[in-house]
Every structure is written in structure tokens, then in C-alpha cells.
Structure 1
Amino acid sequence: MSGSSECFYDPIQPELLYLHSVTTYKLETIYHRHNAYEIYLFLRGNVHFYVENRCYHVQPGDLLVMSPEEMHRAFILDESEYERITINLKKTYLFQLSTPSTNLSSCFDHRPKGTGNIVHLDEYNLKQMLQCTNELERLLSSDAYGTDIKINAAVAQLLVMINVWFHNNSFVPNDIMPELVRETMDYIETHLNQDITLRKLAEVFYMNSTYISRQFKKHTGLTIRSYILGRRIERAKFHLSEGMSITDACFQSGFSDYANFIRSFTKMVGTSPGKFSKQR
């Protein structure tokens, strides 16, 4: 993923991407999103994990799920070993694995955006999870006959288990996102189709604009300007997927310049608004 504060769309190419990673240096990522669902299992380290306008100091056994629409980032606080497992799954892949009575994308989609993303696995459930991921790792490194079918079965089994955990979840995580950053995000979200400036934010929150800007960048890895642009692109995608015309989607999402909208949308989404509309 690019470290540029102007780019936070990280496209996933394969329908299934599995990574078991250990980092031994202080890694910083910016808020980003994918064109796929994400499963994130935290195993060890000293990490703050951000999802939308919430932040959690994750503990070993914390399991998070993110939809393609949910911005997230990991912020590593020191140089202790940071171990995690991430699994990215394309929507089309989950649809193929699901049945009319078992929607495997339920834990990703059937909840308010930015909420209900986290469960904490006890020792027994964490052991179950790791047994499944270890088997998936083994299968992904094999080219034996029938391995593709076994991989699909292992992923389906894992998703059934995760959906049950989230369906029965009563875990209430401690949200440590600074109030100023959360309120700035909320203000931006509710005023996207208006002109949003640092001066206006300073007036709303009765704070110095430089301080607001620095705090926002510290906790998101993004400038306020690039964050607003990303949210407007997401709003435009929603409008286009609902059948709105390109012109209306442009201005309803807060863009005042049509050419800039086309250019920004194509750069961040990877396709033009016209082609995106035809794909819906």
C-alpha cells in the first residue's frame, strides 16, 4: 500500500489473499480501504487499530472484520514484534461460497458502518481459529489434486465460525479515539455536499485550525483534504450504484468541478464513473 497521504485505496487483486505477517519495526499505515472484505486476527504486539471513527488498543485474540466500505488502519506503537493474520475476500468469492440459507458476508454487511467490527476470542475459540488458519496456510502452499476444493471448504468453515461469533457477540471494546478527531470525521460526513474548509472546522470546534489539522493527521495518517476527497468519492460510488446520473452524483457528493470529479474518481477507484455505473 502506498504511504502517500493522497492515496488510501488499496485494491486486492486475487479473490482470496491470505497473509500471516510478523513485523519487527515501527510500521505506520494510513487510513485505507480495499475492494474486498477483510478478516484481521491480532496475535501479538503493541498496536492501535482504527476503524472509521473508532480506535482500539487491540489485545491478542481480538478479531476484526471490515467491509470494503470501511476505512481502517493499524498504528504500531513501538518496535516489539507485531504478528497478525489478514484474510481478504472478494465479494464475488463470498457470494459463490454462500447458500440461500447461509449468507457468509453477514458479519461484514449486516451492521452499521464502523460499529460491531470486533470480537475477542477466548482461549478455546482462538485455538479453533488458529487450527483453521493453519490448515488454510497448508492448503494454500499445496498444488495437490483437489486442493482448490479443500481451500474453498476451509474458507467456508472459517467464515461460518466467524459469523457465529459475531452473531453471538456481547463484547464491548474500549474506544480510545480522541473526541476531536471523531467529531471532525462526523462533521465531514454530515456536510460532505457543502464546502468544508479548515477555517470552518476551526469555527465549529472553537480550536486553532493548525491544531485540528495536526491531530487529524496524527491519528489517521491523512490530511483533512485527502480524507474529504476519499469520503466524497465513496458517496459518489453509492449514488452511482443507486442509479443516479454522473452529473448529479458529482454535485450531490460535494464536488464543484465536474472535470476534477471525473479525474479524481478514476484515479481512486481505478475506473471512470461511467464504467463504474455500468458495472452495478
Structure 2
Amino acid sequence: MNEKLLSFQLKNGAFSYMHSITQSPHDEQHRSYMLDCYEIYYLISGSVNYQVEDQTYSLSPGDLLIITNKEIHRPYFTSDSSYERILIFFTPEFCQHYHNESYPILHYFERKKPGSFNRIPSKLVEQLGGYFTDMEEHHYSNQPANQVLIELTFIRLLIHLNDIIATHLHTSQLEGEYNAKIEHIVTYIHNNLYHELSLRHIEDTFFINRYYFSHLFKKVTGYSFKQYVIHKRIAKAMELLKLSVPPTEVCKMTGFEDYSNFYKAFKRVTGVSPARYS
């Protein structure tokens, strides 16, 4: 059972904060996600492995994840103990007032390679817990300026995160587990979404048995090859639709065989039609 301890939004949903706890969690409760926003995930209690693209992160209480709007992700649970976390979802537009050339506040989110350097361990972010506490206290304070105080506290959190990342980005402390072969193929997928991407094509291109690859890909990423390709194509389609590219052209540019398949896949992943999304 999932219980929301606190949930609120700012600026018409451009910023969403959710503090929740799940009793006896299991994998079926949590599907794969690919959201149209950035996400900060803070684990308070519980035992969970978190899959982001082809990386698996074994999380401990106090660990923090940074997830972009181009990354497929989902949790897998290693016990039935209660699972408490804080999730913050925000759009780039929410932070644009604080962005400038001398200090691009979202530089890491915008430049980070998908599936890399998502996890920041608790020993590096132990001081960040205070920001979450402050945001919750501001929410409950009922002060006229509480929304402004929440926003400013969040910006301070981002600045602190940037400092941590700048110091520790090139250390193994931020890495998850990965498979070099799969990572290479995932990069190929990202760069060739508009081309044929079948198991046979991967077999011929990388000289790897398709059945072995299919099993290995599922084991490493947590997704079937077909599911992963569809999600990445939809992510690209979302980008193009935001640029006002017509849905029929987006269909062709993202490798779908016909518009009917594109329409069904897009609505299944996003919940809306391509035309409505644009």
C-alpha cells in the first residue's frame, strides 16, 4: 500500500514534491518511467535497486538519484520492508530565472550522458537532507511567502548538488554497475533511432548472437530490447513535437513503420495522442 505523506505543486505543476511511503513494496507496483521533466529521488528508508537505462544502482537510505527526461527508469525491491522516499519533479522552465551564462544551473542535467552518474551516495549528500526538511516546513508554515521560500530552498539544493557533482564527478563513487558491450549498443541505439533496430540488425552489426543478446540486455537493463527501443523513440518524438514538428513527420523521424503503430505506442507511453501532446 502506498501512502502519500505530503504532496504539493508550484507554478501549475512545473515543480512537484512528493513524500511517500510504501508498505511491503513489490516490483509489480512500479512500472518503467520516462517523464517529461527532471527528477531528484531521495531514499529515506528501504532496500531497493534502481534501474536507469543500462545501469543498476543498489541504493541505501540517504542516497540520491538524479534522473533526466531522457532516461528510462524503475525500482526493483530486494525486501518487503517499508520503502520511504522523496521525489521532486521539475521542468527546465521552473529554473530558467536562475540560469545565466556565468552559472548554468542545469548544466549537469542537460549535458549528462543517459544512464551515467545518476547515483550520489549518502556520505556525499548527508547535508542535503536539511533542504527537504526545510521545504516541508515552509509548506506547512502557511506564511504568505511559503511558495517563494520553497522555490529558493530548492534552488539552494540544486547549487549544493552542482558543487558535489563538480567535485566528485570523475570518481567511481558515483557509478553503478554496467556492462561495456551493452553500454556500447545502447549508445548505438540512441544515435540510430530512425534506422532499423531489430534483434537481427544488432546481431549482424555487433556480431553477437541475438538470443544471447536479448537475454543479456534484459538482465542488464531490466527492459526487453523492443520495449527499450520504443521508449527511446517516444522520448525523441516528445522532443520533436515540442519543436512543433508535425506528428506525421515525427513518426518518420523516429523509426516507426507507420503512423498507426506510432500513435498507439505514443499514447500507451505518455497517456495522450501525439497531436494533443504537441
When normalised by structure 1's length, the TM-score is: 0.76
Q: What secondary structure, in the 3-state scheme, does the structure 2 residue paired with 1:80 have?
A: coil
Give yes or no for contact 1:54–1:177 (8 Å, CA) kept in 2. Answer: yes
When normalised by structure 2's length, the TM-score is: 0.77
Q: 1:90 to 1:193 in 2, by over 3 A?
A: closer
Alignment partner, residue 119 of structure 1: 120
Alignment partner, residue 209 of structure 2: 206
1:1-280 superposed matches below 5 A: 14-28=13-27, 29-98=30-99, 101-122=102-123, 125-126=125-126, 128-170=127-169, 171-172=171-172, 173-177=174-178, 182=183, 185-186=186-187, 188-198=189-199, 200=201, 204-206=207-209, 208=211, 212=214, 216-217=217-218, 222-241=223-242, 244-274=245-275, 276=277
Give yes or no for contact 2:34–2:235 (8 Å, CA) kept in 1. Answer: no
Q: Distance in 2 between matches of 1:154 and 1:191?
A: 40
Q: What secondary structure, in the 3-state scheme, does the structure 2 residue paired with 1:94 have?
A: helix
Give yes or no for contact 2:56–2:220 (8 Å, CA) kept in 1. Answer: no
Q: What secondary structure, in the 3-state scheme, does the structure 1 residue paired with 2:168 have?
A: coil
Give yes or no for contact 2:49–2:56 (8 Å, CA) kept in 1. Answer: yes
Give yes or no for contact 1:30–1:221 (8 Å, CA) kept in 2. Answer: no
Matched residues, number: 261
Q: 1:115 to 1:262 in 2, by over 3 A?
A: same
Q: 1:82 to 1:265 in 2, by over 3 A?
A: closer
The one-letter code matched in structure 2 to 1:18 is Y
Per-residue CA deviation, residues 2-42 of structure 1 (Å, 9 max, x unaligned), is xxxxxxxxxxx722222233334233233312122111123
Q: 1:221 to 1:273 in 2, by over 3 A?
A: same
Q: 1:187 to 1:22 in 2, by over 3 A?
A: same
Per-residue CA deviation, residues 214-269 of structure 1 (Å, 9 max, x unaligned), is x6556655443332222112223344455655444322311111233234334534
Give yes or no for contact 2:50–2:59 (8 Å, CA) kept in 1. Answer: yes
Q: 1:78 to 1:201 in 2, by over 3 A?
A: farther
Q: Percent identity?
A: 25
Q: What secondary structure, in the 3-state scheme, does the structure 1 residue paired with 2:84 have?
A: strand
Q: Distance in 2 between matches of 1:48 and 1:112?
A: 20
Give yes or no for contact 2:57–2:119 (8 Å, CA) kept in 1. Answer: no
Gaps of 5+ in 1: 1-12
Q: What secondary structure, in the 3-state scheme, does the structure 2 residue paired with 1:140 have?
A: helix
Q: 1:242 to 1:84 in 2, by over 3 A?
A: same
The one-letter code matched in structure 2 to 1:54 is Q
Shift of 1:109: 1.2
